[in-house]
């Protein structure tokens, strides 16, 4: 039986052991900050890897014709990085996915195909064309993965889940486009987000679904809408009236947008060439020929 005295003697030793162990774990798991080295603009390079599946040829041709990767590279050129960040459009053997791995952003043809499949065949009452419903999620998925890449290459500290931070990085950047373009992007994202939310809710959620490193589709949908409404409650007034952002969340959205804007200013802006940024911001990025989203 443990003696009260004996227990008292063991506590300090046990506590000391815990601190040592905690420090060791911290040392072992916390990435060591390395000097970033020379930072250069224009480090994001796109590559259209030919699709393995002939079904995806239309995506390869269409995105090349619209110069989607070139436009993204140019739009993000002001961010100074220590090395090149390749962004690839490639086949993933049937996997509907996008990821940042080994210093490379990959967006699968399968994911873009999934965006096309879920786009409406004609304009929807929310003022969204079939093409808008494709442009928004396509830009969003690249920016989300590029966000992971930028956090990694610039050693940006992230409080909380990196998946949420990458979502906010992507949404914030889309809100920096000219108002008309920002609306096309954000409403396109809202359309797919709502489809995904409805699909997810139609299945019965299991406990493990809540453990995913990503938020649930409906949470990501409302987070994105909230950021848009917070950025400009007049331009995105329909986030509340048509896209069902609850009024009680809408009240907080200006604050949520300011939080992301502050993080961007503190953590990303020191690595941005502001002269080049001014040039980028003066351009019209989404000028495409009118085209149906149908394949
Ligand atoms: Zn991610």
**pLDDT tens digit string along 163-191?**
999 999 999 999 999 999 999 999 999 99
Q: What is the pTM of this model?
A: 0.86
Res 170: pLDDT: 98
The alpha carbon of 166 and the centre of ligand 1 are apart by a number of angstroms equal to 6
Residue 12 tokens read as: 């300090």
The alpha carbon of 95 and the centre of ligand 1 are apart by a number of angstroms equal to 15
The alpha carbon of 70 and the centre of ligand 1 are apart by a number of angstroms equal to 22
Share of the chain above pLDDT 90, in %: 73
The alpha carbon of 149 and the centre of ligand 1 are apart by a number of angstroms equal to 10
- Predicted confidence (pLDDT) at residue 3 exceeds the cutoff of 60: no
DSSP assignment of 186-243 equals: HHHHHHHHHHHHHHHHHSPPPGGGGGSSSPPHHHHHHHHHHHHHHH-TTTTTHHHHTT
The alpha carbon of 187 and the centre of ligand 1 are apart by a number of angstroms equal to 20
- Predicted confidence (pLDDT) at residue 7 exceeds the cutoff of 50: no
The shares of helix, strand and coil residues in the chain, as percent rounded to the nearest 5, are: 60, 10, 35
Res 287: pLDDT: 66
DSSP-H helix ranges across 119-161:
132-153
Kindly indicate the confidence band of residue 263, based on its pLDDT and cuts at 50, 70 and 90. Answer: very high
């Amino acid at each position: 039986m443990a003696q009260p005295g004996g227990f008292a003697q063991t506590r300090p030793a046990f506590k000391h052991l815990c601190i040592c162990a905690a420090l060791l774990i911290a040392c072992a798991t916390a990435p060591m900050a390395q000097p970033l080295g020379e930072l250069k603009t224009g480090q994001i390079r796109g590559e259209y890897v030919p699709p393995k599946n002939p079904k995806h040829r239309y995506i390869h041709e269409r995105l090349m014709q619209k110069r989607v990767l070139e436009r993204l590279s140019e739009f993000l050129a002001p961010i100074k990085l220590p090395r090149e960040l390749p962004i690839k459009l490639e086949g993933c053997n049937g996997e509907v996915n996008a990821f940042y791995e080994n210093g490379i952003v990959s967006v699968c043809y399968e994911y873009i195909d999934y965006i096309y499949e879920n786009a409406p065949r004609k304009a929807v009452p929310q003022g969204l064309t079939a093409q808008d419903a494709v442009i928004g999620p396509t830009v969003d998925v690249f920016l989300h993965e590029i966000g992971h890449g930028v956090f990694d290459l610039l050693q940006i500290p992230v409080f909380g889940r990196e998946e949420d931070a990458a979502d906010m990085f992507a949404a914030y950047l889309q809100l920096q486009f000219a108002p008309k373009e920002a609306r096309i992007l954000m409403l396109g994202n809202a359309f797919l987000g709502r489809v995904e939310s409805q699909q997810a809710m139609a299945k019965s959620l299991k406990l493990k679904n809540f453990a995913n490193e990503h938020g649930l589709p409906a949470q990501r949908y409302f987070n994105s809408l909230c950021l848009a409404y917070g950025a400009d409650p007049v331009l995105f007034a329909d986030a509340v009236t048509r896209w069902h952002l609850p009024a009680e969340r809408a009240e907080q959205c200006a604050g949520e947008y300011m939080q992301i804007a502050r993080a961007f200013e503190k953590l990303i802006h020191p690595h941005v060439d502001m002269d080049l940024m001014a040039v980028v911001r003066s351009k019209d990025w989404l000028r495409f020929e009118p085209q149906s989203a149908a394949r």
